[in-house]
């Protein structure tokens, strides 16, 4: 482990927010890294298993906020130590707190790691390049440097949404480090519909209807071409928390049996009202309406054929699961499986946590 990490959150957490042209905004925005830490601490207090929360410092001094969990009740600790760890990568605008329904269940038989992506949550917020390939590489490189600093030889890598896109890119570049790739409603796989339409103009094809894009996706899409995707939350100032509650009421309802207040929406707000960083990288990687500039379907054939891949989609998600079917076709005889989780939307892990945990645990047990 990197010697600069600590067994508890560092007291000067607010230093992870660099000074910039936006430094006057904290007086307008009711947020800070300290408030984010407070909201997250309330969420993590629900965890029953052994938890180690700390910053992992990368060679370039960027810090990745990391959770490590092991079971309290495992009868033979040595057996769990030999199990391949599960590493969970959140999606756009998320953080480790969103896995609260999954961390205990999935760490019963093996170590589980979750971290805030570079530029998100409590991790460092460095500048990102405007070039799509370079921004993607900065994300992926930080994941590899994190792995080296933590000391993991290999892992079962699970990514949700943007995290799924980055996990796939990571597995392409570092195939020996991934024992099984699990993609949960991954973003950035299909090409823009205009391209697909041109290819199929002369063909009669069956159209599979998907749920319409939710309001929050449309809201983000409306500003992404002009500003950083989450600029509206920061620009709203003291009305920002209310804006999150209005556009993302689902986050409160998904966790209402754990919290009877605005804990989860406050967490989401504080994750995304900080100085923009990871979202700058996301903006560089995406084009109008959030389509990936470098669609992963064009590169998924570069995955090692022997790498087991499971893709999980929510039945009611706005992400089209047909991309998973295309991956099966592209990878031919490789071990690729697509599964649909009933009565789940984009946040599969929170909508149907018991089924999600059961499926993921089964996948992990197939590794060792």
Q: Where are the beta strands (DSSP E) in the chain?
A: 50-57, 63-70, 86-89, 112-115, 155-160, 178-184, 309-314, 336-341
Model confidence band, residue 204 (pLDDT cutoffs 50, 70, 90): very low
Percent of the chain with pLDDT over 70: 74
d(Cα 183, Cα 324) in Å, to the nearest integer? Answer: 10
Beta bridge partners, 113, equal 68, 87
Number of compact structural domains in the chain: 1
Q: Is residue 132 part of a domain?
A: yes
Minimal CA–CA distance to 22: which of 230, 287, 246? 230
Cα–Cα distance, 106 to 74 (Å, whole number): 12
Is 231's pLDDT higher than 70? no
What is the pLDDT at residue 265? 86
pLDDT band for position 141 (50/70/90)?
Answer: very high
72-126 pLDDT, tens digit per residue, is: 876 566 666 689 999 999 999 999 999 999 999 999 999 999 999 999 999 999 9
3-state class (DSSP) for residue 351: helix
Q: Exposed e or buried b for every residue in 39-60, given b needs 16+ CB within 10 A?
A: bbebbbeebebebebbbbbbee
Decide if 259 is inside a domain.
no
Is 210 domain-assigned? no
Asked whether residue 266 carries a pLDDT value surpassing 70, the answer given is yes
Residue 218 lies in a domain: no
- Mean pLDDT over the full length of the chain: 84
- Do the domain assignments include residue 200? no
pLDDT value, residue 72? 83
> What's the pLDDT tens digit per position in 289-345?
689 999 999 999 999 999 999 999 999 999 989 999 999 999 976 789 999 999 999
Query: Is residue 144's pLDDT more than 80?
Result: yes
The CATH code of the domain that includes 352 is 3.40.50.1820
Mean pLDDT, rounded, for 181-192: 95
pLDDT band for position 203 (50/70/90)?
very low
Most confident of 121-135, 272-286, 324-338: 121-135
In a domain, 143, yes or no: yes
Q: Determine which of 181-190, 193-202, 230-239, 269-278 has the lowest per-residue pLDDT on average.
A: 193-202
Asked, for residue 22, whether it belongs to a domain, the answer is no
- Over residues 23-37, the mean pLDDT reads 71
Measured on CA atoms in the order 146, 150, 155, 159, is the torsion positive or negative?
negative
Q: What is the pLDDT of residue 253?
A: 80
Query: What's the confidence (pLDDT) of residue 3?
Result: 38
Enclosing domain of residue 152? 33-191+277-366
20 assigned to some structural domain: no
Q: 315: which residues sit within 8 A by CB, 6+ positions away?
A: 340, 341, 342, 343, 344
Q: What is the pLDDT of residue 273?
A: 83
Q: Which range (58-67, 118-127, 225-234) has the least confidence? A: 225-234
* Beta bridge partners of residue 310, listed in sequence order: 182, 337
């Amino acid at each position: 482990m990197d010697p600069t990490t600590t067994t508890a959150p560092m007291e000067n957490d607010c230093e992870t927010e660099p000074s910039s042209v936006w430094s006057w905004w904290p007086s307008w925005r009711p947020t800070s890294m300290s408030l984010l830490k407070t909201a997250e601490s309330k969420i993590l207090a629900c965890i029953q298993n052994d938890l180690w929360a700390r910053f992992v410092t990368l060679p370039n001094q960027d810090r990745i906020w990391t959770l490590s969990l092991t079971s309290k009740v495992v009868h033979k600790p040595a057996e769990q130590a030999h199990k391949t760890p599960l590493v969970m990568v959140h999606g756009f605008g998320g953080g480790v707190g969103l896995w609260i329904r999954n961390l205990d269940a999935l760490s019963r038989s093996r170590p589980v790691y979750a971290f805030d992506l570079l530029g998100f949550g409590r991790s460092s917020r460095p500048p990102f390049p405007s070039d799509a390939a370079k921004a993607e590489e900065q994300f992926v490189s930080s994941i590899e440097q994190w792995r080296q600093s933590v000391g993991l030889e290999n892992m079962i890598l699970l990514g949700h949404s943007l995290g799924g896109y980055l996990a796939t890119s990571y597995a392409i570049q570092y195939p020996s480090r991934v024992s099984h790739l699990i993609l949960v409603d991954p973003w950035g796989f299909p090409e823009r519909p205009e391209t697909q339409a041109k290819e199929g103009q002369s063909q009669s094809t069956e159209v599979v209807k998907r749920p319409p894009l939710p309001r929050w996706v449309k809201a983000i899409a409306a500003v992404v071409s002009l500003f950083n995707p989450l600029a509206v939350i920061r620009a709203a100032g003291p009305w920002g928390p209310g804006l999150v509650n209005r556009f993302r009421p689902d986050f409160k309802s998904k966790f209402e049996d754990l919290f009877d207040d605005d804990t989860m929406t406050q967490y989401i707000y504080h994750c995304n009202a900080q100085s923009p960083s990871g979202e700058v990288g996301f903006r560089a990687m995406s084009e109008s309406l959030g389509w990936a500039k470098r669609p992963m379907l064009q590169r998924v054939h570069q995955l090692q054929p022997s790498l087991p891949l499971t893709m999980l989609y929510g039945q009611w998600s706005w992400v089209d699961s047909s991309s998973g079917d295309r991956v099966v076709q592209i990878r031919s005889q490789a071990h690729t499986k697509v599964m649909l989780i009933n009565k789940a939307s984009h946040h599969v892990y929170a909508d149907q946590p018991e089924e999600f945990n059961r499926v993921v645990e089964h996948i992990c047990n197939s590794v060792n």
